[in-house]
Every structure is written in C-alpha cells, then in structure tokens.
Amino acid sequence: MANKLAIFWALVVLAVGAHQVHFWRNAHLDTDVLALLPEDEQAPEVDAAMRKLADEAGRQLVLLVGAKDWPSAQRAADEATRVLEASADDLEPAVLGTAALEQAVDFYRPYRDRLLTPAQRQWLTRATPEELGGTALMKLYQPAGAQLTDWNADPLGMWPDWWQARAAETSARPRDGRLWLSGEGREWVLLTWKSKVSAFALGDGSRVTAAVEKARAQVEAAVPGGRLVAAGVPLYAEAAAAQASWEMSTIGFGSLAAVLLLVWLTFRSLRPILLVGVSLTLGCAVALTVTALVFDRVHLLTLVFGSSLVGVAEDYGFHYFAARQGKAPSERGPVMRSLLPGMVLALVTSVVAYLALGVAPFPGLRQMAVFSAAGLTAAFLTVVFWFPAMDTGALPITPFAQRFSASITRWPRIASTRGWWATAAILTVLVAVGIWKLEPRDDLRQLQGAPAPLIADQRELGRLLGLPSPAQFYLVEGDSDEQVLAREAALKRQLDTLIADKVFAGYRAVSDWLPSEAQQREDAALSARAEAQAVAAVSASTGEAPTRAAFAEEPLTPSRFLAGPAAAAIRQQWLGTLGKQQYSVLMLRGLNDPKVLPRLAEAARGLEGIRWVDKTAEISSLLSRYRLIMGWLIVAGYIAVLLTLVARFGREAWRAWIPSVLGTLLTLATFGWAGAPLQLFTVLGLVLLLGMGVDYGIFLLEHPGDGSAWLAVALAGVSTLLSFGLLGLSATPALRSFGLAMLLGEVTIWIITPCFRPPDGKATH
C-alpha cells in the first residue's frame, strides 16, 4: 500500500512539473494592487468603475519636463523625448498636443451650434436683438487669426469660450506646438507616453522605470536647472514587481538556507537536507499549481507570502527525522505510523487556519489562503509517502541533537507555586494594560507601500496639472445613454454652487464633451434663434446679406463621439453598459481637504441615479468591519480547537491550548505597548497563529517526555522565527503587520509551550 501511495504521489508531481513549465512560459503573474483590495459586495458596479479607470490608466505615463525659462524647458523636453524614443520596444508617444486639438476641433465643427456652456446658455436666453447684433458686428471685424472658424459658422464667437471651458480641466495650454504650463518657479512641457506592455504583466526588469530615470538624468545633465517629474501606473507596477521579487528572494531563499543549515547541524547527514529540501520545493510547486488552477492569475504578493511557507512546511520532516534518529532503517515505517496522529492533527489545524484567511473579501488573501493550505498539504504528503521509502540509511544521534533533546528536562514547568502565581499576576496586568492601549486603525492609506519618490512625483504632478482624484467620484446610473447624460447635467448644476463657494476646483464630466440629445436640441434651437437675430442685425447695419452656416441635422451620439478623436480625453469615464444599466463617472479636481468630502456626499442626495463614491473611506470601513468579524472568528476558532484537542487528549488538552491563547494575548499587548496600530492584517496573523501555534503543544502531548519531539519542536520554532521574521521586514505594510504579529506570537508560544508539558511518564491519551 505504501509503495502504491508513493507511486501515486510521483505521478501527481510529474503532472505538477508539466504545469509549471506551461505556467512560467506564459508568466500568469499579476502585480495589480487592486487585487489586494476588498471587493465591494453591495455595489459591484463601483468595482467595475474602479477597474475601468485603472485599466484605461494602466499604460499611461505622464511627464512634466521643466526649466527656469521656456527655451530651456523646450530643450529639456527634446532631450527627454530623444531618450524615451530610444526605448521604442517598451514605450510609444501618446497622441496629445496641438495636432490632437486640431483633429478634435474638426470633429466637433458640424456640431458647433449645440455646444454651449451654462454661461452662454444664460446669455443667449436673456440677450436682446441689439446686444446680439452688436456682438456679431464686433466679431465680424475681428482679425481672422483670433477665431477657430469663419464668421458664418460662429457669428457670435461662442466656440472659443466653449473650448476654453474644456481647457480648464487641465492647466496645460498649447504653446509653440507643445503643451505648456507654468508653476513652482519653472516653465514646464507636458509629455505623454504609453507602455506597449500592460503595466500588470511581469517583464524582464523595470524597463519603463529605467527609461524614465535615464531621461531624468539626461535632462538634469544637459539643461541647467532642468527637472523631470513622472507618474503613471507602469512605474508603480514595476516598483511593486521589483520589490516583490527581492522579497521573494530574501524571504524564500533566506528561510530555506536557514532551515537547511539547521538540518545539517542537527543530523549531520546529506539525506535529511535533500529530503526536507524536496518536501519544501514540492510544497511550493504544488501550491503554485493549485492556485493557478483555482484563480486566473497568481498575484506576486501571493508568492511573497508563500515564501514564508518554508518556515512551516518543514515541520513534518523535522518530526520524522528527529524521531528516526538512532533507530534502525527497518523501523522507519513504525516511526512514521507513530507520528501520523499528531502530524495529521497539526496539519488539520494549520490548514483550517490558512483557509480562514479566505473569509475576508480580499481576492489576494484568498489566493494566499489556497496557496498556503495546498503547499502545506503537499509537503505533508511528500513526507508521509516518500520519506520512509527514500530514507534507507543509518541516522545516528549527533551531539548537537543529543544536547538539545536533553534540554527539555531543564525547561521550567508550570506549577502551583507562589512564584508562578506572582508571575501570572504581573503578566495579567501588563497584558490588560497593553490591550487597553491598543488603537485600531483601518485607514486604507496606511497600506500604501509605494516608494516615496514615486508618491512625491505623483503629488507634484497633481498640483501642477490639476488632475482629478481617482479615489473620490460620482457614479452616474441610467436606463439609457440619454438618461445618464441628463443626470450628469443635473448633478453639475448642484456642484456649480460648491465650486462658486470654492469647496473644490472643478469637475470633469462626459456630458461636458457630449451633451444629451435633449440638451443638444435645446441648445441648437437657442443658438439658431439668437444667431438668426444677430445675422439679421448685421444685414440691416451693413446692407449685406450674410448667411448662417448649416450644421449637422442629427445629434452627436455616444457611439460617434467615442469613435472620434475628442473622446481620448474622457473615454475612461464612460463605462457604458454594466449589467442592464448604463454608467458614467464624474471626477473632481482640486480635492485637497478631506473635510469637504461630507459636503460632496450631501450634493448627491435627492438626485436619482447618482451615487457618491469615496473608495478610500469605503474600503477603510470594510477593513474595520472584517477586522471585527475575524476577531470573533478567532474566539470561535479557539473554542473549536479546544474541543478538537479534548477529543484527542482529554483533560490534558489545555496544555496544548493555553500557550496559543497566551501567545495571542501577549502579541496584542505588545502591539499596544509599542503604539503599533491594530489592523485587519494584524488580526489575520493571529488567525493563522491559532492554527499553527497549537502544533508545538500537540507534539509534546503526543510524545510526553520524548526528547526527539522537543528537538523537532525547537527546530520548527527557530525556522518559523526566521521565515516570519523576514516577512516582518517586507516593504508592503500589510505583509509587515501580518509578519510581525506572526513573529511575536510564534516566538512567545514556542518559549512557553514546554512550560505546560505534562509530567514525565504521564499518559495524555
């Protein structure tokens, strides 16, 4: 039977190997940070909006190249462009500039008569024929170079004002064939580029970042006082990929090297090193395959988190070889059978704890849960199926192992003495005060792990260009395109009051570029009536018979607009059909004070089909809610674990249970005393601690007085300390908080578990 199971597992491993070849050839890895965020369960359309906004921006790269004067800024822009053009395999210039503006003007020309600003609409409604005629005469004698079109097509000269309103959405203006702005003591040229590869695809290094940095260095070297500021999703994605790659190497290979060194010191044999290494490798390989089969893509941070699996998966190999030491090769089967009950119980508690991570609505966390549970199970099966068959040689007890095994007798044991009760009282006070000092903080901004220079550039670009906020916006819903555009117009009337009060700077809406058909018909009729009066007044004054130009009879439709050149500026905000409804996004500019957000939320109340979205606040609220849910899950989990231990160990079950409880409480108290925030990811670390912490007590109860069990527990504790200690060094705040909670808890449990061991020789089951 054992041989059949070993062969079966070998076939599974071969299948995994074939999948690994396919997986790495296609690089199904994801660096999208949105995968780490909770899903909005009540409003999936909000997630769709966020995804659409992110996808549209996924390849965009925005650069401002500046210098102290305009000629120097132009020269700096030329230098940057020359360097970026050399990276033609990775980057291409985006269509943005005076040529794009001319194309947009030509596109809109047949619809000029129905493109009015609110101010123009009010003026045309109340203007007298005399005022209209006077304005038309003035425009007639105005130099032709100051107009966008001829007089007949725009006798009142309203079109430049409409374009001026569109230009107000950004600070950049055309100048000498470039887009220019002035600010912070410099003249700037705006450059826009696109990455040819998706920002979320794994590449061969940070090639876009390297090109930008090379351009920055060239600008600073070639132009005195020259400066380049860049921002874009590709830069963030490459930074995340580079950081994750470094952390995988540090955490994964660092843990593996430390584990293998421990194995060598303990057993002084190459065979345990090779077999433990095989179990760890297969654990990670199977975990990756299972995760890839369950999910479409595997997140890079899943692999970073999974690297810490090394600190757990080797426990089974440690227990086998620790029990196998000093015994004849013929006893390896009985040794494995004697270990199986404790190993199975430890596996079940750990896997359940890992899978509990998937309760939270984080796609990334669910991947981590599946990855870790599958990897741990694969490592366990490798030990059980293969180790007895491959471990054929002698394994003598080494002096290091002998000394460490004997150290259990010198470990203090809990007893009902005055000293122990005093220690317990002091710890109770310290824990109570520490937990009382805990401060929950669920602000999503605390999870920001991007490099500081990138964030600084992003903020500077936002100030100079007046870019809209991607985290706060209005989601507009309707039964049709027409209804969406009409509801946008109603919302804008509400917001215009807040803009007049200087609550925020402005907005960017699809209906500014594409009015509803009803609005187009109304404005076309209004401008036709006013311009007819103006043309008549000019005819009466000059004796000539000018005529007003003809315009398109059909209104400008969403499909035609989206296919035209003007849509590039606003396309990402037109969501189109999601489910059975139509959606658009109205974005806001100049949101610099969080205190104004309640007023913006209030502006949407009472408007049908309008929803205010503050994604930062929503996710922070969701983080808080699931932190509480997972906290209660820990309580329920400890009760379930205690019942499981009682079924196995009876009245002695508390000896394996209490250390984990104390480890959790002491970890929380340490966070409180240190002033570290209590976050969802801290609580998730404690959930995992629940399943893993009882393992030490289980093995000591399964084999009371057995020095080899203590040796295995000690090795497992040290390797876990190394792996989760390294995870605590992660630059990703969520992983760092998780790793520190696991590190503190595991070390505490490892130290105090032997204190609760039963008296030597006392049976526990």
Query: Which residues lie across from 473 on neighbouring strands?
Result: 587, 613
Domain count, the chain: 2
Both 592 and 626 in one domain: the answer is no
pLDDT score at 449: 61
CA 330/CA 573 separation, integer angstroms: 71
| Residue from 9, 715, 638 nearest 352 by CA | 638
Q: Could you give the residue ranges of the DSSP H alpha helices within 295-314?
A: 300-307, 310-313
pLDDT score at 194: 79
Percent of the chain exceeding pLDDT 90 equals 16
Cα distances (angstroms) measured from residue 593 to each of 89, 498, 503, 598, 611? 41, 14, 9, 11, 20
Both 540 and 670 in one domain: the answer is no
Average pLDDT over residues 713-728: 75
- Do 745 and 667 meet the contact criterion of CB atoms below 8 Å apart? yes
Confirm whether 228 is domain-assigned: no
Helix (H, G, I), strand (E, B) or coil at 454: helix
CA angle 405, 411, 414 (to 5 degrees): 135
Confirm whether 10 is domain-assigned: yes
Both 11 and 137 in one domain: the answer is no
Predicted confidence (pLDDT) at residue 671 exceeds the cutoff of 90: yes
In terms of pLDDT, which residue wins out, 397 or 569?
A: 397
Helix (H, G, I), strand (E, B) or coil at 195: strand
pLDDT score at 361: 66
CA 193/CA 180 separation, integer angstroms: 16
Average pLDDT over residues 481-509: 90
Instruction: Report DSSP letters for 367-393, one per residue.
Output: HHHHHHHHHHHHHHHHHHHHHHHH--S
Final residue in a domain of this structure, among 595, 615, 635 = 615
- Do 672 and 741 meet the contact criterion of CB atoms below 8 Å apart? no
Confirm whether 741 is domain-assigned: yes
User: How far is C-alpha 525 from the chain's CA centre?
Assistant: 49
Cα distances (angstroms) measured from residue 693 to each of 322, 347, 654? 20, 12, 13
Tokens of 62: 């925005």
The 8 Å CB, 24+ separation contacts for 222-226 are 222/75, 222/76, 222/79, 223/67, 223/72, 223/75, 223/76, 223/79, 224/67, 224/68, 224/72, 225/67, 225/68, 225/72, 225/186, 226/65, 226/66, 226/67, 226/72, 226/76, 226/79
Helix (H, G, I), strand (E, B) or coil at 509: coil
Among 392-406, 483-497, 503-517, 664-678, where is mean pLDDT lowest? 392-406
Confirm whether 429 is domain-assigned: yes
Predicted confidence (pLDDT) at residue 116 exceeds the cutoff of 50: yes
Confirm whether 180 is domain-assigned: no
Number of H helices, E strands in the chain: 29, 13
Both 601 and 724 in one domain: the answer is no
Among 23-27, 132-136, 445-449, 595-599, where is mean pLDDT lowest? 445-449
Q: Could you give the residue ranges of the DSSP H alpha helices within 543-679?
A: 558-563, 597-603, 615-649, 654-674
Residue range of the domain that includes 554: 48-53+92-173+189-199+456-615
Average pLDDT over residues 552-577: 86
Residue 372, Cβ density class (10 Å: 0-12 exposed, 13-18 middle, ≥19 buried) = buried
Both 596 and 623 in one domain: the answer is no
Kind and range of the H or E run holding 182: strand 178-183
Both 336 and 304 in one domain: the answer is yes
Instruction: Report DSSP letters for 16-45, one per residue.
Output: HHHHHHHHHHHT-EE--GGGGSPP-SS-HH
Give 403-457 pLDDT, tens digit per residue. Answer: 888 888 888 888 778 888 898 899 999 999 999 999 888 776 666 666 777 777 7
pLDDT score at 474: 92
Average pLDDT over residues 658-681: 91
What's the start-to-end Cα distance of the chain, in Å? 28
Confirm whether 222 is domain-assigned: no
CA 347/CA 379 separation, integer angstroms: 10
Mean of pLDDT over the chain: 82
pLDDT score at 522: 94
Tokens of 402: 């002998």
Both 577 and 718 in one domain: the answer is no
Confirm whether 212 is domain-assigned: no
Give 589-600 pLDDT, tens digit per residue. Answer: 877 778 888 899
Exposure string (b/e) for 15-52, b if CB count within 10 Å is 16 or more? ebeebeeebeeeebbbbbbbbbbbebeeeebbbbbbeb
Residue 58's pLDDT band, with cuts at 50, 70 and 90, is: low
Final residue in a domain of this structure, among 615, 640, 655 = 615
- Do 388 and 336 meet the contact criterion of CB atoms below 8 Å apart? yes
Cα distances (angstroms) measured from residue 528 to each of 27, 119, 331, 523, 532? 59, 17, 100, 8, 6
| CB-CB neighbours of 551 under 10 Å | 15
Torsion-angle region of 675 (φ positive above 0: left; ψ -120 to 50: alpha; else: beta): left
Both 393 and 517 in one domain: the answer is no
Final residue in a domain of this structure, among 615, 639, 657 = 615
Give 637-664 pLDDT, tens digit per residue. Answer: 888 888 888 888 888 889 889 999 999 9
CA 259/CA 252 separation, integer angstroms: 11
Phi, psi of 111 (to 5 degrees): -110, 15
Both 594 and 625 in one domain: the answer is no
Query: Which residues lie across from 582 on neighbouring strands?
Result: 478, 577
Tokens of 39: 């899903």
- Do 229 and 216 meet the contact criterion of CB atoms below 8 Å apart? no
CA 108/CA 101 separation, integer angstroms: 11
CA angle 33, 38, 41 (to 5 degrees): 140
Both 428 and 471 in one domain: the answer is no
Cα distances (angstroms) measured from residue 203 to each of 235, 514, 678? 12, 38, 36
pLDDT score at 203: 47
Residue 2's pLDDT band, with cuts at 50, 70 and 90, is: low
CA 504/CA 380 separation, integer angstroms: 59
Confirm whether 179 is domain-assigned: no
Predicted confidence (pLDDT) at residue 332 exceeds the cutoff of 50: yes
pLDDT score at 33: 53
CA angle 60, 65, 66 (to 5 degrees): 150
Both 644 and 739 in one domain: the answer is yes
Place of tokens 């992660």: 730
Both 462 and 411 in one domain: the answer is no
Query: Which one-letter amino acid corresponds to residue 469?
Result: S
pLDDT score at 202: 43
| CB-CB neighbours of 246 under 10 Å | 13
CA 504/CA 588 separation, integer angstroms: 8
pLDDT score at 258: 73
Give 170-224 pLDDT, tens digit per residue. Answer: 667 777 778 788 887 888 988 888 777 655 454 445 778 888 889 999 998 988 9
> Helix 300-307 and helix 707-727: axis angle, to 10°?
150
